[in-house]
Structures are given as C-alpha cells and as structure tokens.
Structure 1
Amino acid sequence: MGKTADLTAVQKAIIDTLKQEGGRITREDLMNYTAVSNDYALKFTLGNYTFYVPDAPFGGPVLALMLNILEGYNLTNRSVSTIEMKTLTYHRMIEAFRLANAQKSELGDPHYENIAEIVKNMISVGFADNMRSTIKDDTTKQDRYDVKSVCDGHGTTHLSVIAEDGSAVAVTSSINNYFGSGVMSPSTGIIFNDQMCDFSDPKSVINGANKNNLIKPGKRPLSSKSPTIIVDKQSNQVKMVVGGAGGTNITTSTAQVILNYLFFDYNLHKAVEEPRVQVPINVTNVEEVFDEEVAKRLRLKNHTIDNKTEETSIQVVVRQKNEICAASDYRNYGYPAGY
C-alpha cells in the first residue's frame, strides 16, 4: 500500500507541475504508459563485422543505410591517403549521408506507423546499391534534399561499455535540450524533457515526407540516437561499442568514427578527433580545423561549404587484440574510465 501511495503522490506531483506550466498530461496518461522494449536489435553485416543498432524511431536504420551505401566503394586507408582520394571519399560520404537522411523522413514510431518495409529497405544491401548508383563523383545533389531538421539537442548523454566478461552495452539517454523543457517538479526534483519538439510540424509534410512523424498520443518521435555494438564475425567477440550525444548530428558523427577506425585504419584517438563533416539542408558544414584543400576541392564539386563547430560528442570503446581501449570526445571534455 505504501508503494501505491508513493506512486500516486509522484503522479500527482507530475500532473500538478505540468498543468501549472500549461501542460495537458493526465493521470490516465501516466497509468496507461508502458515502456517499449524490443527483444532484438536491428542487425546488419558490413565486411568482417556484424552491427547491432536500435530500430526506428531511432537512428539505427539511417546509420545502416549510410554505411551500406559507402561499403560499395571498398573504403580502406588508401581512400584517404592523398588529397585527391580524400576529397572523393568525403564527397561520397556527404552524398551517402544526404541520401540516408532523406530516407529518415519516411520513418516514425513502428508501433503507430506501418514502416516495416521502409526499415527493411534501409538495412538491405540491394536498396543501398540503388542509392549509391544515384551518386555522381563530380557534383553534389545537396539542393535536392529537403529534410525537416528536428530541434538541436544538448541534453543527451552516451555511455559505451565493454565488460570484463566480454559483454557490451551502448546506451544513449536524452531530455533533449539543456535542462529539458526547463520545468522541474519542486517536490520530486524531476526535470521534464523536451522531446515534443522532435515531432514533425504538419506544415513540413510535403509530398508525404515527415508524415510518419506527426504527433499522436503515446507516440515516440524520431531521434538521431544511434548506440551501436559491432561484433567481429570471425572471433564472435565485441570489436567496438560506439555512440554519441549532440542532436541531429549523432548518426553522421557515429558513422564517421566507425569509418575512421574500422575502414581508414586510424588509431582510436584520431578516429574520434578527426575533423568531421555534417549535412544540414543545402549546405555542408565542416569544422574549422577541417583540411582546407579538401574543402576547396569539395567546392569545385558544387558543395556549399560552411565552417561550424561540431557539437556531437562520441564515446567509443574497442577491443584491440587482448586489450580494451577507450576514447572520449575532446569536443565535450569527456574522458574514458576503467575499472
């Protein structure tokens, strides 16, 4: 009885606080809420590795499509060994990111929208092959992709773990913005999130894009969160655990660190610290320390280049032979820990 009474008190505190701030939440909303638990992660294979990523409405299908498109280019350390090769490789990466983000606009909460076929396509090799065939090596199509950008999130955190027994955890949590909605229950100390701004505005639904991410009661909005566990197919051991925090760039940042480490053969710290590119609508953002010559040559391929600070923070743990190594993104003053 004490537990029920406490729960009722917490419910009342939540409802009272949110109503004072203009919210509409009811006791029935809280009573009817059930956490969604997926028994299996999305699974896809890339070279010697098996990837486990979250299903929609999270970033797993988008990450899978990005990497499957790029696998067709047989990326190796040679792909970034010269200015010419690095420019071509980054051009292809940018185009793959844009294509995958365009498909993201078709996603939504699978418990409310019929998107099973869309997700199936996004993790399939054949679909990625078709996407890759539309990429031209001499020019960008950046002006053809108009994907709604959800609000930037700064209240996100990520943790990557490989345990002593070989098990692994990748977890990303978020209240969306700094201090979430900016509303805290004075009696419970709960800071309420701001996830509602991740839903699509009905005005942004053009030709069907974003229609599966419209607000419905109980529905989860789209998210870029991409906690990822990568297993070596030969040893069947966890090779890499990676993910990030920092809004809409989480998926592309995670993809770049994976590419840097597993395909370009960068050491772990370089894989995380290497300057990144991002793909908002109709522009390509690069960090100020990005290779100026590569940026110049990307402009010759019709990319509109803008310098912008990268706010996504990647946390990664890898198995290197018999050692467990970790790196935390200097961009957010993170640090690895061992026990």
Structure 2
Amino acid sequence: MLHTASRPLTLIPLLFALLLSACSTPQNTTSPERSNAPTSAASSHNSAPGQAAIASAHPLATAAGMAVLEEGGNAFDAAIAVAASLGVVEPYSAGIGGGGFWLLYDAKAAQYRFIDAREMAPAAAHRDYYLNADGTVNRDKAVNGPTAAGIPGQAAAFAHISEHYGELPLKKTLRAAIHQARDGFPVDEHYRTLMGYRLEAIRRFPESARLFLDDNDIPAAGFNLQQPELAQTLSALAADGFDGFYTGSVAERLLQAVNSNGGEWTAADLAGYRVIEREPVHVRYGALEVISAPPPSSGGIAIVQMLNMLSHFDWKTMNAVDQTHLLTEVMRRAYRDRAEFLGDPDFVEVPVSELLSEARAQAWAESIDPVQATPSLDLAGPKNLNEGFHTTHLSVLDKDGNMVSATLSINLPFGSAFTAAGTGILLNNEMDDFSAKPGEPNAYGLVGNEANAIAPGKRPLSSMTPTIINSPQQSAILGTPGGSRIISMVFLGALEHLQGKAVEDWVSRPRFHHQYLPDVIQHEPGTFSDQQQVALTRMGHRLQAVGRQYGNMQAILWDKRKQQVTAASDPRGIGSASVSPAGK
C-alpha cells in the first residue's frame, strides 16, 4: 500500500508561464494503489479536436491504427491495433510475450485511467532466484532463455482495454497484425542493427533462429519475415480474448516450451495473470495537469520530483551551461530517490507523499550548488538499477478527444531470445529488471535496492513513463523507449513543450542524462559544444558521449486555441506520425 499525499504541492508560476496566465494552489491527486476508482480530469477537456493523430515507432503500425480509426474505432481500439502491429514488425522491442503501461484519457467520462500490464514473476521465483551456489549472480539465467521471462501482460491488456474502453472487437483491432505476421513484412536496417546486439543469443534457441534469422544469419534488408505461428496465436486471442492466450492450447504450448527449456511456469501463473487499473500520478498546477505513470513505474514520481525542484530556479533565463548543470543536479536527486524507494506498490510501501512533498523539493533544491556538481556518493543512496534499453512507445488521439500514451517492452532487443515453439511468442527478459542480489554492496560500497527484490507474483520496477500534459489551451501526449534514460528524455521533452516549442522539437531535442550512478552525464554526440564541455567539466561534471543517438519519442500536440493537431515521430527511428483531415 502506498501513502497518498498529505498536503498539496506548490509550484511557482514561472514553470508554466507560457501556458497559464495565473497559477492557483495545485493539488496532488496521486494515489497509485490497486483501485477501480478513476481519476477525474479537470474541466479543461471541454472540446473535441475533430482530428485524429497517431505517432508510433513503425509506419506499418501507424497505418494499422489509422485504418481502425477510419473503421469507426476509437483511440483505445487504434492503440491496440498499433501495439499489436508493433509486436509483429518490431519483434526486438515489444509483443505479446512482453508487457507495458497504458495511460488512457476517456473523454466521454472525463477520466484518466492507468493500465498496468507489467510482467509478473512466476510463483517459482524468489529473492535469490538468480544466485549461483557461491552467491554470485547468474547473468545468463537472468537475461537469456525462459528463466529470464516474467508472465506476459500484453495480451491481457489487449483484452481488458477492448472490453472496457473500445468500440470494436479484437477480431478487427488485431486484424492488421495477424495479416502482417502471416504474410510477412520487409526487414529494415533498424531490425538488422538491433539483431546485431542479440545474434548469438538468438542462435542458441532453434525456434528463434528459424523465425528471425535467414540461414542462421541476420536477414538482408528487404527480406520478407513471416511469423505464421504468431498469426495463429493472435487469431486465438482475437477469437477468445484473455482465455485465448492464458488458458487452452496456446497456454499449454507455452508451458511445454518454457518448462522443457529450464523455465518454471505453471498453468496457475498464466491463468492468474491480471492487469491492474491504478490511479496515475496526477498533479494539478492551477488549470494545468501532469498525468503520468505510478509505481511499479518510477517515471511519474521522478518527473514530478524534477519539476518541483526546478520550480525553485529561474531556469528558463539561464545560459546553456548553467541550465545543463541545473537539470543534471535535478536528475541526479530524483534518480537517487528512485533507486532507494521505488518498487511494486502491492509488495512494498512507497512513500509517495514524502517524495512529492514541497518540503523534499525545497530541501533538494537547497542542496544544489549553482556552480559545482554534487558528487553522487555524497547523497548516500543505494546503487542504481539496470534496465534493458529497447522498448517502444505509441501516442494516439482520436477526433473525440480520447487519448492514449503507451510504453511497451520485452526489455533487451529481442527480449530473452527464446520463442515458445508452436506459438510464435518471443518471451521477454523483464525479470532482469528486478534487483538480482539486494543488499550486496556495489563497486562504490553502496547497498542495492531491497524494494525491488524478486518475489512470486511481483512486478519489476520500470522507467516507462507514458505521459499526458493537459491545460485549457493544449494537450500533449508523449513518451519514449530507452531503459533508465526514459525518464530524463520525457523530462526534457516536457520542458520543450512547456516553453511553447513545436512537437517536432520535443522529439528531436539533443539529449543528455544523469541517473545518480554512474556519476556521469551521458549524452548524444553533438549535444554539447567543445566550450560547453570544458565549462561543465570545470564545474565538476564528468561527461560521457554514448557514441550514438538514443530514444524514439512519439508525440502529439492538440492546440485547442487553434483547433489544430500536430504529431511527430522521433527522427532517430523509422517511425511515422499521421494526422487525419479535420472532421474525419
């Protein structure tokens, strides 16, 4: 059980000056517990856009969603179609062998809902599940093969959202994905690059090698990749909903494949999986709302913490170096709290009220030296958490104002690399997002995160941060993949929006990241000039270029003043954004 906020947050008007003419006392409605009570929206949702938009990480998925909208489906139907398609054409990032978080806005009910479809540890898992006899962590068991997989939640999310929020049956919303799996899709260079990370692991498992390789090697660009068994599994899900995946013949084949290859799943593990509707992190600043992911995501709490700290500074007027320094220090402190306090709220107490309080924001703000970096070890927290770096995101808005921001994952590229024979289901390796050995000092002498220890039925902590920012003037839908960097990317994208930038600027902004430990500013090539790097180094920061661009943000902006909808897909990826003509 989580603590709810015991007093309102305060945030100075400066942060939202471009969006609000005045800022009254904000209210924090965060209550991320198991709950069936929806979060009501403010009165700023008082019109419909008259246009629809989808931004996703693959053109085929965006097209699938737009087709569902044209067939009379709503944003929730379209989001299912997009997600199902991504699971076929992006087998490296998402699929029904994984899970994710879905942030919904139901315009008719004027309510936000958060669908937790995160994977669950099987009943056989326990705190020391990945420890060898000598107490060391068995990384291979935690990363590769069925022992690394949690019970998938994606299929349950499709069934739940379709039943409770959609207008169309799964037979229609899954149709494009079924066709894509059966008939195939052309392999692109992005697929080839990500397969390069996991080629040897894929080769270890014959079923995966058969499906995702060509003669045991990375397929050439343009190769038509077919997944007929996955098409059959999706068809069973379309016909029978939850039972088509978690019971019956699909479940039997899943159990046979997992348990004959070292896994320890039971029929009860599958049949007992449930999505949880949780209250999102929902903070109001006057008429403006920030709505994001609650635990077991760490994203929403971290985003609000960073905004609260930032409110104590005149950050918009700072030069690039001083602003980078400040944003780094804000990230450092939010990630420090993330490492210590966050976990599955059904298993651990998460002190939400304390983390989001103005008192904590002020204390953290006062600890920031304006000209000198704070060594992370001085903050005396636990070591940070490692997460897989490849995920996917989709954003959807329909003409009636329904919204979806969903971040989905199987963790590392191609997940566990294990495909269950006869199902086409490529399993996740999300169990690696737990702390495999809590209490063990790391290289810095700091102790690991006990709140994220493995337990049967528990959901691992995540950074996935689907977010909606709403005001009487505008509504923004955004999110991105990227492991532990997701939070900092959404934070930087949100700041672009709060400064009145176009949606294209949110997704293309050069990125940097600090996650408390390791104590470095990670950044994309070209983010900082030589002079800026020298200045930041003199302030005590260590910089590390990651050698590549990262992230794949998908974003939509509904400008209610202009009655205009715009959308953008991150130029770093191969995705696409589409906006329907007005009135369609």
Provide closer, same or farther for how the CA distance between residues 274 and 129 of structure 1 changes in structure 2, counting only shifts above 3 A. same
Mapped contact 1:183–1:191 kept (Cα < 8 A): yes
Quick one: distance in 2 between partners of 1:70 and 1:297? 21
Quick one: distance in 1 between partners of 2:244 and 2:511? 51
2:446 is the alignment partner of 1:212:
no
Quick one: distance in 1 between partners of 2:504 and 2:533? 23
Alignment-derived partner of residue 193 in structure 1: 428
* Match 1:304 to one of 535, 539, 542: 542
Alignment-derived partner of residue 54 in structure 1: 293
Instruction: Kindly provide the CA deviation profile for residues 56-78 of structure 1, in whole angstroms up to 9, marking residues without a partner as x.
Output: 111111111112111221433x3
Alignment-derived partner of residue 97 in structure 1: 331
TM-score where L is the length of structure 1: 0.89
Quick one: distance in 2 between partners of 1:15 and 1:180? 18
Aligned-partner SS, 2:480: strand
Aligned-partner SS, 2:275: coil
Quick one: distance in 2 between partners of 1:176 and 1:60? 19
Quick one: distance in 2 between partners of 1:29 and 1:336? 38
Quick one: distance in 2 between partners of 1:238 and 1:270? 16
Quick one: distance in 2 between partners of 1:291 and 1:132? 25
**CA apart distance, 1:261:** 2.2
Alignment-derived partner of residue 82 in structure 1: none
**CA apart distance, 1:238:** 5.2
Alignment-derived partner of residue 284 in structure 2: 45
* Match 1:148 to one of 384, 400, 407: 384
Quick one: distance in 1 between partners of 2:474 and 2:577? 18
Quick one: distance in 2 between partners of 1:279 and 1:310? 16
Instruction: Kindly provide the CA deviation profile for residues 156-200 of structure 1, in whole angstroms up to 9, marking residues without a partner as x.
Output: 111112221122111111111112111112212111111000001
The AA in structure 2 aligned to 1:30 is L
Alignment-derived partner of residue 569 in structure 2: 328
* Match 1:170 to one of 395, 402, 405: 405
Instruction: Kindly provide the CA deviation profile for residues 235-280 of structure 1, in whole angstroms up to 9, marking residues without a partner as x.
Output: 2x652111111211001000001112213x4333223212111114
Quick one: distance in 2 between partners of 1:337 and 1:205? 48
Alignment-derived partner of residue 87 in structure 1: 321
Query: Computing the radius of gyration over CA atoms, which structure comes out larger, 1 or 2?
Result: 2
Alignment-derived partner of residue 291 in structure 1: 528
Q: Which runs of 5+ in 2 are unaligned?
A: 1-238
Provide closer, same or farther for how the CA distance between residues 157 and 278 of structure 1 changes in structure 2, counting only shifts above 3 A. same
Quick one: distance in 1 between partners of 2:358 and 2:388? 31
Alignment-derived partner of residue 180 in structure 1: 415
Mapped contact 2:480–2:551 kept (Cα < 8 A): yes
Instruction: Tell me the number of residue pairs that the alignment of Structure 1 and Structure 2 aligns.
Output: 324
Alignment-derived partner of residue 579 in structure 2: 338
Provide closer, same or farther for how the CA distance between residues 296 and 218 of structure 1 changes in structure 2, counting only shifts above 3 A. same
TM-score where L is the length of structure 2: 0.53
Quick one: distance in 2 between partners of 1:42 and 1:200? 24
Alignment-derived partner of residue 484 in structure 2: 248
Instruction: Kindly provide the CA deviation profile for residues 61-114 of structure 1, in whole angstroms up to 9, marking residues without a partner as x.
Output: 1111112111221433x33xxxxx221111010011110001111110000111
Instruction: Kindly provide the CA deviation profile for residues 135-155 of structure 1, in whole angstroms up to 9, marking residues without a partner as x.
Output: 11111124426532323231x
**CA apart distance, 1:285:** 1.2
Alignment-derived partner of residue 75 in structure 1: 315
Mapped contact 2:305–2:355 kept (Cα < 8 A): yes
Provide closer, same or farther for how the CA distance between residues 150 and 5 of structure 1 changes in structure 2, counting only shifts above 3 A. closer
CA RMSD of aligned residues (A): 2.2
Alignment-derived partner of residue 224 in structure 1: 463
**CA apart distance, 1:204:** 5.3
2:372 is the alignment partner of 1:139:
yes
Mapped contact 1:142–1:283 kept (Cα < 8 A): no
2:358 is the alignment partner of 1:125:
yes
Quick one: distance in 2 between partners of 1:75 and 1:160? 29
* Match 1:11 to one of 242, 251, 255: 251
**CA apart distance, 1:304:** 0.4
Mapped contact 1:166–1:238 kept (Cα < 8 A): no
Mapped contact 1:56–1:222 kept (Cα < 8 A): yes
Quick one: distance in 1 between partners of 2:440 and 2:460? 15
Aligned-partner SS, 2:553: strand
Quick one: distance in 2 between partners of 1:133 and 1:170? 34
**Percent of residue pairs identical:** 27
Moved over 4 A (4+): 2-6, 203-209
Quick one: distance in 1 between partners of 2:363 and 2:509? 29
**CA apart distance, 1:12:** 1.4
Aligned-partner SS, 2:277: coil
Aligned-partner SS, 1:288: coil
